[in-house]
Amino acid sequence: MAHELEQKALADYLEDHNLKHTRQRAAILEVFLEATGHITGEEIYQRVKSKTPSIGYTTVYRTMKLLCEAGLASEQHFDDGVTRYEIEHEHHDHLVCVRCGKIVEFECQMIEAAQDEIVKRHGFRLLRHRHELYGHCPACRRKEKED
Amino acid sequence: MAHELEQKALADYLEDHNLKHTRQRAAILEVFLEATGHITGEEIYQRVKSKTPSIGYTTVYRTMKLLCEAGLASEQHFDDGVTRYEIEHEHHDHLVCVRCGKIVEFECQMIEAAQDEIVKRHGFRLLRHRHELYGHCPACRRKEKED
DNA sequence: ATAGATGCAAATGTTTTGCAGGAAA
DNA sequence: TTTCCTGCAAAACATTTGCATCTAT
């Protein structure tokens, strides 16, 4: 099985919390990890279904919530109102192509510093942020010119 | 009537597009303008309802969409999945208190410049962006210490 | 008179919950 | 054998649509 490390992390989390290790949970984590990230609940459901037809939406959503709690996944909400799950990793933001849906991650130290300054100026305590740039990716810009 | 200027802008837009000037449209715009901005469809509905009890959700949503097209309002989607409407104005971003819901707008030239650089580096064409900082506002931080 | 607007009820799409049966420890 | 999970169906929730009726022009 691929992704042994993450399956191990899940097993540890389940054990620590007196939760059970089930076929469905392993299958959902597997599908999630195989995706390039930024996958929706619906997509996970469809892919798990092709191998385990008895799966329900309920289990997918519940398991993804659990993976988030376990620190393996995190939720992203882009402009279309659908929750997407990505592999949890350090601070980064997103560049989204509104034509083809391509998502690129970026990090910018300068922006982080500017944010801290703004937060401080307003006396807030920063918990998290969200920064998304929407536009057309290089491939779509090329297609536009052809149209 | 307050907000004559915007009511005039709406009237012009309606005329230009062969749409009708109705009591409901004027009432919804009025309520929207009286709010401090960042009001939800539900809130608009409730406030209009107190003066015009026959109003329906449908009309509120349809009218807010129309106001967006007319350039008077714009939609904002924060993390709770509820659409909020704000008075359309130049580029700015949001600082949101997750405890009390307070919303502060900010603008930062340095961040805008950094964004442009990132977009250029990835070959994208930028259409719009969204930048939200979530945390605790000064008042809520004070309350926290009391708790 | 007529194009367009309204409000109700029903549909939508996504995610959550209640519950009875099922599987892991 | 007990505790936790699962999948179904139904609920929730915000928003949209179909349609018969009403209203501004």
B91, pLDDT greater than 70 = yes
Q: Smallest CA–C1' separation from B42: which nucleotide?
A: D14
A126, pLDDT greater than 60 = yes
Model confidence at B132, in pLDDT bands (50, 70, 90)?
very high
Q: Is A103 helix (H, G, I), strand (E, B) or coil?
A: strand
Cα–Cα distance, A101 to A7 (Å, whole number): 29
φ, ψ (nearest 5 deg) of residue B2: -70, 170
Size of interface A-B (CB pairs under 8 A): 111
| 8 A C-beta contact, residue A41 and residue A56 | no
Percent of chain B residues topping a pLDDT of 70: 99
Sign (positive or negative) of CA dihedral B107, B110, B113, B118: negative
* Summary mean pLDDT of chain A: 92
pLDDT tens column, A12-42: 999 999 999 999 999 999 999 999 779 999 9
pLDDT tens column, A84-110: 999 988 788 999 998 888 899 999 999
pLDDT at A99: 86
Nearest to B95 among A77, A106, A118 (CB): A118
Model confidence at A1, in pLDDT bands (50, 70, 90)?
low
Q: How many C-beta neighbours within 10 Å does residue B25 have? A: 20
* Summary mean pLDDT of chain B: 93
Interval B32-37 mean pLDDT: 89
Q: How many C-beta neighbours within 10 Å does residue B41 have? A: 17
B118–A137 CB contact, under 8 Å? no
Cα–Cα distance, A92 to A86 (Å, whole number): 12
DSSP H or E stretch at residue B23? helix B23-34
Residues of B with CB under 8 A from a CB of A: 77, 79, 81, 95, 97-98, 104, 106, 108, 110-111, 114-115, 118-119, 122-138, 141
Nearest to A11 by CA among A26, A32, A24: A26
Q: Is A95 helix (H, G, I), strand (E, B) or coil?
A: strand
B2, pLDDT greater than 70 = no
Lowest mean pLDDT among A85-94, A109-118, B56-65: A85-94
For residue B46, what are the CA distances in angstroms to A29, A118, B3, B28?
43, 34, 20, 11
- The amino acid that residue A130 corresponds to is R
Assigned token pair, A124: 């807030």
Nearest to A135 by CA among A101, A105, A85, A84: A101
pLDDT at A3: 84
pLDDT at A147: 74
Three-state secondary structure of A46-74: HHHHHHCCCCCHHHHHHHHHHHHHCCCEE
Q: Which residues get their CB within 7 angstroms of nucleic chain D?
A: A 14, 18-20, 22, 24-25, 52, 54-56, 58-59, 62-63; B 20-23, 40-42, 57-58, 61-62, 65, 81-83
Residues 6+ apart with CB under 8 A from A115: A126, A129, B111, B133
Model confidence at B107, in pLDDT bands (50, 70, 90)?
very high
pLDDT at B135: 93
A128, pLDDT greater than 70 = yes
Q: Which residues get their CB within 7 angstroms of nucleic chain C?
A: A 20-23, 40-42, 57-58, 61-62, 65, 81-83; B 14, 18-20, 22, 24-25, 52, 54-59, 62-63
B119, pLDDT greater than 80 = yes
pLDDT at A6: 93
A50: closest CA of chain B, how far (Å): 30
CA to C1' distance (Å), from A45 to D10: 20
Assigned token pair, B90: 């130049």
pLDDT at A146: 83
Task: List CB contacts (< 8 A) between A119 and chain B.
Answer: 95, 133, 135
Report the side by side order of strands in the sheet with A83-87: A39-40, A83-87, A73-77
Assigned token pair, A145: 């010119």
